[in-house]
Amino acid sequence: MVFSSVEFLALFLPLFFIAYLATPGSARNLTLCCGSWMFYAWWKPVFLLLIVAITFVAWFLGREIGRAEERGDVRRERLMTAGGIVLVLSCLAWFKYANLLVKTADAALATVNAGPLPWTDVVLPIALSFTVLQAVSYLIDVRRRTVAAEPSFVSFAAYLDMFPHLIAGPIIRYSWVDKALIERQLTFEDMSIGARRFMIGFAVKVLIADTLAPVVEAAFDLPSPSFVDAWLGNICFAFQIFFDFAGYSAMAIGLGRMLGFKYPENFRDPYLAATIQEFWRRWHISLSSWLRDYLYISLGGNRYGDVRTYTNLFLTMAIGGLWHGASWSFLLWGAIHGVALAIGRFWNQRGLWWPAVLSYPATLLTVLFAWTPFRATSWDGTLAMLAGQLGLNGFAISDPMRLVVRPLHLVWLGVAFAVVLWPAVKPRLSPRFENTGEWWEALWPIALFLYAIAVMMGHQTVPFLYFQF
């Protein structure tokens, strides 16, 4: 079950909110926990056992770390923290990377006319990657004494398995919601703001991201894309993944607000960033801040000289890239960003400066080139698209792309450009475009939402891209 589905909108969500609003405040965590498990079990009930097991392990070990702290048993604190992290990360590694390692081994064996290994592919459960990162951050925060261990399993499960962010984030830290888990108020204002965010997120996902998906698929399926093919597919994918994931994040933030939780923003106009550092302060903020606080700093951060700092930046982004999926092309995507961040830091430390007219296009081109291996997910596909982007396969649009691209795609591509550029041009426009609280400002999200539902009913639902990660 996904947010952009009839089952969720017409069945699960209304029934859940009826139960949630009818539940006394002290028992809402239980309703939220049970509802979230039902939401997850809709996909494959057997994998719910895995999610519940990880939840129990993180909760139990968090309590043990807290008790060891009270007794002053530093050794046990470290053991429980390290053991919990290794356990949940090992679970993620098995389900996410076992197939990749076997395929890599098979490719190596094929060079000596051996193999393949006897193997049945392991199915990656949805939500596992995000659940594991949240469990790791919780254990580390308890160990760092940033938060107190949660005594109630139901409350902890309501946090870790909360259905708005369960499947594809944002990555919510326990410290962001711990007070709301104890006591939260459900107000008409929060319900209204949350519903508005949900409707806008739903609309941009269905109308922009899903509409551009066929163009992206056609371009990346070409064995020898032309210059126009490659860049049209690349730019459409840049918009597709942004409006798909930012749309999901907006829906999750909106649902969280309706439940009484205030999640932080996960995107802030990333394609307007003038530097690669600024891009990562604007793109998937919950992940980039997680990588900084729990991986980069743990590796040593910038405390041991320039060379170590550049190495840590590279490793952090490379590991972050591999986290996105079991493919070496994801590692390449992360490595590109790691190198770019290291170069940016080197540049800034020496007091060098680029004017915005140069730094902005350089940043955007870096991001767009990096999206190529991210979407291609194979070396052959990546090389084919890069060759096309460099004009090595000719420049004119190919016949297969002509058959796919329709005027509607170009219309929504133009809308995507307008939405992305709007925050940059809005301050230069008349004050009449500011939020005035007029009735139409509340009405247009509803109208857009209803139109998006009608469009959704007319074609097959496109899964959220981050479900695969």
Give the residue numbers annotated as catalytic, written as ranges.
324
Closest listed residue to residue 244, CA positions, set 352, 169, 294: 169
The secondary element (H helix, E strand) that includes residue 240 is: helix 227-259
State yes or no: cis peptide before 407, omega within 30 of 0: no
Q: What is the rounded CA–CA span in Å between residue 386 and residue 373?
A: 9
Which sign does the torsion angle of CA 328, 333, 338, 340 carry?
Answer: positive
Record the tokens describing residue 122, joined without a space: 């392991």
345-358 burial, b at 16+ Cβ within 10 Å, e below that, comes to beeeeeeeeeeeee
DSSP state of 435: -
**394 - beta bridge partners?**
392
Beta carbons within 8 Å of 199's beta carbon, 6+ residues apart? 254, 445, 446, 448, 449
**392 - beta bridge partners?**
394
Helical H runs in 111-226? 128-143, 153-160, 163-166, 174-182, 188-204, 210-221
Find how far residue 69's CA is from the centre of its chain.
34
Q: What is the rounded CA–CA span in Å between residue 172 and residue 263?
A: 7
Q: What is the rounded CA–CA span in Å between residue 159 and residue 153?
A: 10
Which sign does the torsion angle of CA 118, 380, 468, 275 carry?
Answer: positive
Q: Is 254 helix (H, G, I), strand (E, B) or coil?
A: helix
Find how far residue 68's CA is from the centre of its chain.
34
Q: What is the rounded CA–CA span in Å between residue 446 and residue 440?
A: 10
Which sign does the torsion angle of CA 468, 380, 374, 232 carry?
Answer: negative
State yes or no: cis peptide before 116, omega within 30 of 0: yes
Q: What is the rounded CA–CA span in Å between residue 244 and residue 168?
A: 11
Number of H helices, E strands in the chain: 21, 0
Q: What is the DSSP string of 340-394?
A: HHHHHHHHHHTT----HHHHHHHHHHHHHHHHHHHHH-SHHHHHHHHHHHTTBTB
